[in-house]
Amino acid sequence: MAIKTRNKLSVSFSMASMSDLVFLLLIFFMLTSTLIAPNAIKLLLPSSNSKTMSKQTVTVYINEGFQYFVEERPSAEASLTADLHSALLGEKEGTVVVRSDKSVPVQYVVNVIDAINQLNETTQSSYKVILATTPKK
C-alpha cells in the first residue's frame, strides 16, 4: 500500500522580493551619488570639446585668487615641487590634474607644469599633466 502525503513541498523560488530589493538599492545609490561633491574648491573651469580621461593621482587647484592647492592643502609657488613630491611619493607613473579657474593667467598653469617637469628630472619618473575642463554646450 502506497501512502501519499497531502502536503507537497514546493521547490520554486519567487524572484519578486529580489527585484524589489535591487530597485531599492539602485534608488539608494542614485540618490547618494548626487550628494557627493567632486570638487571641494569651487572653480569655473574653461570649456573644451576634448574628452581625454585618465586616472588621476593628484589634483592641483588654482583658484581665482591665484592660490595653489595640492589635494585641497594650500601650497606656495616656491614649495609647489616639494608638495607635489610628497603627494606623489611611491608613484613612478602618475597623472596630475590641474583644475584652474578660467580667469587665471596661463603662467600659473605653466608653473605647475614646470614643477612636474622638474620633479620628473630629479626623481627619474614620468608624471603627466592634464588640464581639467568642462564640456562645451
User: Which three three-digit cell numbers place residue 69?
Assistant: 592647492
Half-sphere exposure of residue 132, counting CA atoms within 13 Å on the CB side?
A: 19
CA distance to 4, 47, 82, 90, 122, per residue, from 128 (Å): 76, 20, 17, 15, 15
In this prediction the pTM is 0.62
- Res 134 pLDDT > 90: no
Residue 15, C-alpha cell as written in the block: 524572484
Fill in the amino acid letter for 79: S
E strand or H helix at 25, and its extent?
helix 16-35
Query: What is the 3 state secondary structure string of 107-118?
Result: HHHHHHHHHHHH
pLDDT tens, residue by residue, 68-85: 999 889 999 899 989 988
Phi, psi of 108 (to 5 degrees): -70, -35
For residue 52 the three cell numbers come to 581625454
* Model confidence at 1: pLDDT above 80: no
pLDDT one-digit tens code per residue, 17-26: 888 899 999 9
Three-state SS at 28: helix
Q: Which fold has domain 47-135?
A: Nucleotidyltransferase; domain 5 (3.30.420)
